[in-house]
Structure formats: structure tokens, C-alpha cells
Structure 1
Amino acid sequence: MRVLVFGASSQIGHFLLPRLRERGAEVLAVSRRPRDTAGITWLRGDLPHDVPAVRELSAIVSFGPLQGLADWMLGADFDGAPRVIATSSMSAETKRDSAVPAERALSRQLRDAEEALAAICARRGCAWTVFRPTLVYGAGMDKSLTPIARRAVRTRVFPLPAGRGQRQPVHADDIAHAVLAALDTPLVAGKVIPLGGGERLHAGEMFARVRRSLPVATLPVPLPAWLLRLGRHAVPRLRGPLDRLDSDLIADNSAVQQLLGVFPRPFRPDAACWGMTDD
């Protein structure tokens, strides 16, 4: 199997590349910043227009922008009809009715990109599957929980916002596992599949577990609901994130479990998830 991977240096790519090598695949990893990894052929490139020519492919896996992938596939010169696996985001649904116009626009863009990818895959005869992950963590590369964890380690203070909305963080390695399973499972062709972690918990508990996972002691500072309401008005850019603290941001894992046999792990982070050690 010869697999072209976009977003290979991402947190999901971090776990997927060695899994592909373990199964004997030839891996062509595309990134703006190629690395030197044994057994992996790195190619410098960026979707949609700066991609090296590759003709013979068994599969295309992308963790980059969906619209960029669709635009590249429109004119890409490869042979045959490789299997296409890509990631979108559960924001396509959870931000559909957001009170923040920019977030509603993002939701629409994601859904439009999913449709564009499906259309070009149909035109080229490629079977496709799109995963919609929830909040992704696990390699210290995410822009949601990892920055919070690292800031707390620097300051020794951990703000704990009140929040009753449910969360379902998914480990990047579980997404990599789902991608591999999808490559082997024709039943998921033509499907958009939600993918969340193996546990649903309140937002407040999620933050508390992040704090407990840190390699240093931090001072917990509860942020009451009244203060968060004030923050919504005082800092407009925080309106969306603060509004969502009481909203459920979860995924139905029925398809990933029943069709792919993938059961994501519960949220039990350790320091390594934030790119730290316990030393």
C-alpha cells in the first residue's frame, strides 16, 4: 500500500505514520516542514497548490483543510482511484447555531468543504470517508487544552471555569486508529462519521482532570458563572467559547464503534498529553 498523507506533522499524523509503517505501507508524508523520520518519505508541500506530483497511490489521508484537499484533487495528476480519508470537525454541527456569526460561518464552511470533497471524489471514482472529531488532544500540539496546561505550569495557577456542558475529548491516536480501520472497511465509504472520546464529562470536570495531570502543583482558581457572564460582554472574542461552556459538544460514536470496531479511550490525560514529562 502506498499512502499519501497531508498534515503528516499534525498531532494525528504523529500517531498515524508509525502505525502505517508497522503494517508495511509506503508512506509519503507531505508537510510545510518536512522531518527526518526513518522509513518515511517526506515531501515539502502545502494544500492546495504546492503539492509534489505523485502518480501511483493506494490511499490519500488528509488532516489539513478539507477545501484545500478538494481543490487539489480537482486537478491532481494521480493514477487510478485511491481511497480518500479526511478529517473535518464536529464544529460543523456544534457551531451551526452559534450566537457568534464567525462561528456559524465556520460551520457552514466545514459542511460546504465536506460536500465539495464528496463531489470531486465521486467525479474521480474515489471512495471517501470523512471523520468529524470532537476536541482533539494527546500529542501536546492542540490549540485548546495544551496551551491551558502549559500556561498553568508556568504561572502555577489553574483557572477552573464553571461549565455544565458535556465534553468528549478524543485522543489523536484513537483517530489514527479509526483512519486505519476505515482504509480496510468498504462499509464506511461515502460516510461522514462523528468521532468523540470514550467518555462524556462536564466541562468543569474536564478542566479539573487537565489540572490533575500536570507534573507540578498549581493553585486552582474557580471562575463562577457570574464572572463568566461578565466576561462574555467585556471581551467579545471570548463570547463564543464562554457561551459553549454550558453547551454539549459531543459526538455519537455508534458508527465508529459498530462499523469500524474502534472504541476510543476515556479521558485520562497524563503530562505527556501536553508535551510534558513527570520529571
Structure 2
Amino acid sequence: MVLLLTSCATTVADKELKRRNLDEYFSGSGVVRYFLSDLPDWANFSQTAACQRSISPRYFNVTTLLKSYDYTYEQSVQLQYMFNVEMNKLKQRTEAKFLPFSDEEKLFFTLTDKIQAEIRTFRPPTFKRVNIIWMDPLLKSAEGQNSLAKLLRSSDMDLGHPVLISMCLNHFEMEKFLSSKGMLNRNVRYIPYEMFSPYTKTGEKVPLFQIYLNEFFKKNQKLYLYLPRGHFKPNELIGDLTVKRF
């Protein structure tokens, strides 16, 4: 009986020691302060778009990036986006569910160099008019998807450059959707959910994953937001936007 109790106590102590050492490792790392805690799968959904996301992204601490790197909001969000894209590429390549933290750390520093070099995964169009299309309500049916494809081929899109935006689809899912509609090589830009952030553009944390759209475009560009009929402008999409419905 004493042996059993000693064994149990030792097991518990070992687990606590391992957990404590792990905590110390993470708290001692300089890079981890730029990451938010992983979002659990059950919380990885959009109430506005009524969808459960397939992959939980790694969200960045914008407040810390603004202070430590003197980044802008745009640089911080682009870094977050690039990190998630490259991280998932590495996972697919190695068939791993998780990356070692040393690999994440190396990736982080590689991408901060790219940000400084003005390299971006999301490349904003240079047209004076930008047509931002909220696509999520149309994804649930073939009719909705056909309506979206029709809009992208319409004369309205000749007036400005189309940019798809989604709170449901990640980078690779956006690529897959465009490919399925034969539009992947038509220079349609897209903003997936990896570009949303629970921070304001000044680094204040908020209880909402949102995006400040004007921060990614030049001041002389006019932003039009295309919404499916029957839908209001989502609170998550912030900016000086002229709303059009289709």
C-alpha cells in the first residue's frame, strides 16, 4: 500500500515537474510572447458567417509586435498571415500535426526579415477602385457559388480589382475554391481568415476577430464592399467602405 502511494505520488510529481519545465521553456523564449494561446477547435468558428473553421490559426500578439518591432498594424497582420501559410506548408510537407517550437521560432525570424524587405503574401491590387466581396454566405449552396462566379465575371469587376474575403476559409481553401471555379489564374486576390485579428489597429485587444481593411490599401484607393442581398455589413469588416449588394 505504501509502495502504491509512493508510486502514485512520484508519477504526479513527475508530471508536475515536466509541465513546469515546459512552462518555463515557453515563458523563457523570446518569440513566444508574440504568439497568442492556441484557439481550441470548439472555439474556432465564426458566428457572423455561421461556419466552423477547419484549421485553428496561430494568432499573433499585435500589441507586442507594435512595441517590440515598431511594426504597423498592416505589417503585424501580414506577418501573422505569412506565418500561418508557411507553417501549414511545413506541416503538409512533413505530415506532422504540430511543428517543433524551434521550427516555429526559425520560421518567425525568417518571415520578419521578409516583412522588412516588403515581401507580402497578400499583395494588394494597385487599381484605384477595389471590389471587396464577402463570399461566406454564398458558400453553402451551388446556387450561391454560381452567383459569386457570375459576379466575378460581371462588368462591375471591370471597374475595379476583385478581392474575395472570408471568415470561413483559410489560404489553401481559398485557392482550392478559385481553382474549382477556373479563376485561380485570373489574378483575383483574397483575404482569408488568417488575416483577421483580435486587435484594433492601435494594438488594443478586443473580443472579436476583425480586420481594418483600409490599412492594406493606399489612401487614394476607393474600397467597395459587395454583400449578398439580405446581409448587413459584418462588424468584423472595418473601414471606409462603399456598400453594394448583388
User: What range describes the TM-score normalised by the shorter chain of this pair?
Assistant: under 0.3
Larger radius of gyration: 2
Give the structure-1-normalised TM-score: 0.20
Scaled by the length of structure 2, the TM-score of the pair is 0.22
**If each structure's helix is expressed as a fraction of its own residues, which one has the higher value?**
2
